[in-house]
Structure 1
Amino acid sequence: MTIAAVTTKEKGSYAAPSAIVVAMSLALTAVLFLAPLFDGLLGKAITLEVDGQTRIVHTSSRTVGGMLKSLGIACEPGDQVYPDVQEPLQPGMSVQFRKSRWVELLVDNRRITFRQVGGLSAERLAELGISIGQADRLDRLDGADEDSACRWHLVRLAWSTRERREPVTFSRQVIYDSTLPEGVERVAMAGADGVALLREQVTFEDGREVFAEALERQVIQSPRPEVVIRGGAPPTDRLLIPSRGGSGAASGDERGIGQTVASLRMEATAYTHTGNRTATGLWPHVGIVAVDPGVIPLGTMLYVEGYGIARAADTGGAIRGPIIDVFFDNNEKCIQWGRRKVTVYILE
């Protein structure tokens, strides 16, 4: 092989890479030159998301708003567009669009309509010039969730305390007196409702009372029980049947929750005028009895079998333990009463 031949071969091997470089440069120049032409023919490739649905579109529009219009997507007040509709389009840009819906809001006895995207928030209400208190409640009236709801109610909540009086229903006491004929019945003492003072916390929704919670209840006047005396033997030793005031009929089948009326088996004597006041300062009269305060406290209302309703308002030197001394207007009645065993019922 001659020197000239070797030289020619080496030159050929160096020329091949140079040709490749030149070809690549020409191709890049052509791409850069023809890119605007293809861009004008196919349009810019834009990633468009509409209400969560994403697709690639090609457009020759200059702005975001122009592209949406060319695609038949109308932009209305309340719609969300990002970037802004005036933003110039660039190839490869991402555009998000969320369509608003009409929303109706009931607030302060008014009906307000506006367009809204997604759920309703305190920030959105502030934009509309509607104040919302810390305790106020925003109720959804329709829709499967907050993002689809079209009707809302802003409920104004408020609280206040108040005092009011309410009746305390009196109970009904039925006492059997074997000294009276079977079936005879009379009201020995009329009942009267008491009074309770109730303090409440009241909840208001839009100015309307919806709930009242009792905070404190104090009986300021105690009820007086109705006492019915019934002739004949009692079905039990003693019986108290509570009922609504004045509504209970005296019969053998009263309904109610039976409660025990305290009773004592005592020895009963009788006394009449002595010219002195009783131990409680009263002038004696029929219906007053003397008791041992250690057994029956002074002031206690009683029913004494064979005598009737009485109040423990006197004492006596001989009245000690289970002994009671009933008052009559004259000595003859005292003698007629004599000394006997009786059942004494404690009424209060």
Structure 2
Amino acid sequence: MTKRTMGNQFFQSLRIQKIAAGVAMLAIFVTVLSLVVFEGTKKNVTLEADGKTVELKTHAKTVEDALAQRDIEIGSHDTVSPSVKTSIEDGMTIDWKQANPVAINMNNDSTTIWTTKAAVKDILTEAGIELAEHDSVEPSLDSKIDEQGEITINKAFQITLKDGKKSTKVWSTSTTVADFLKNENIQLSELDRIESDKEQLLLPKSIVSIVRVEKVSDVVEETTNFDVKKRADDSLLKGHEKVVREGEQGKVRKRFEIVKENGKEVSRKLVAQHVVAHPKAKVVSVGSKVALASTTTAFASPVASAAKKTSVSRGAGSKSVKEMYMNATAYTAHCTGCSGVTATGINLSANPNLKVIAVDPSVIPLGSKVWVEGYGYAIAGDTGGAIKGNRIDLHVPNDGVAKQFGRRRVKVKVLN
């Protein structure tokens, strides 16, 4: 091959390489240009997804296509604005909110709803639930739903609170009495009590009763009656009496422990007593002298003559009788708190007509025979919680007689 031929082949090969390079450059240019044109034809879209903002370029035709390109699957309860069938426009903003399940517990009933709302208040509004003034909700209305996705509503109902003497209507969401006391910040003293079980369930129109109990001391001074002592006096005519010494009442200071419930006294217990002054007995002389008719009297009668001849014993009528005035009431064997059997074992239920009186044994010993003005002879055979000092209680057959007797001040004689 000649040199000229070899030169032509070299230049021809060089020309082919240049052409190939030019074609390659053209292909690259076209590709780049196509990419630029492709990218340039994409539309700018702002995507708001669950609180996050994403700027994207897309050739998607609809909102649904744009979300699908981001691998967003639209749930049946999700909200998309604008709608999924809306055509994509440059500069459009797509707002997608994913719905979440929320359990609403109310009055021991639970309902689950799907919502895109986050605030408790908005969720309840969307669910059509209205809250009254005294209802409680957890979490609070202004807070956002937590990860558990649960709202608890306690509907308030009205109950009656009787606290001591005061009665009020109270709205409450408490479940038990104990829960109610805690929520209402009601303090109880050691003696106070609740008239129901603290674990008792509260329902509409329930009544919570609190009895306020207090113990107080009361010091009183009471007078004690004096005895009347009679003694025979042969210097006085029979049927005549003379007061030798006036009686003086004694005085006793007593301290009581009083229990009050809601301000009303329910019990009184004597815890101490002190004699301030002892009573002094009244001394009365009773005449025992018998007057004899004079034998020189012109109008002497046979009786007087007999009296003149009859000797009178100086010892007759000299026995001392205890006599006093006391406050008397009447009771029956069937009175409230009565057993029908006295403190000394007398069965009044079986013997309604027996004359028995209840006494303070320190004043009239049990078993004494007595005479009571307006009642007659009786036996001191019973006691009573309220029968203290100068008080006695007379047993009668029935309530009618007891009411008729009422309360009287009577003379009492202790015969033995």
Which TM class, normalised by the smaller chain length?
0.3 to 0.5
Higher relative contact order (CA 8 A, sep 6+): 1
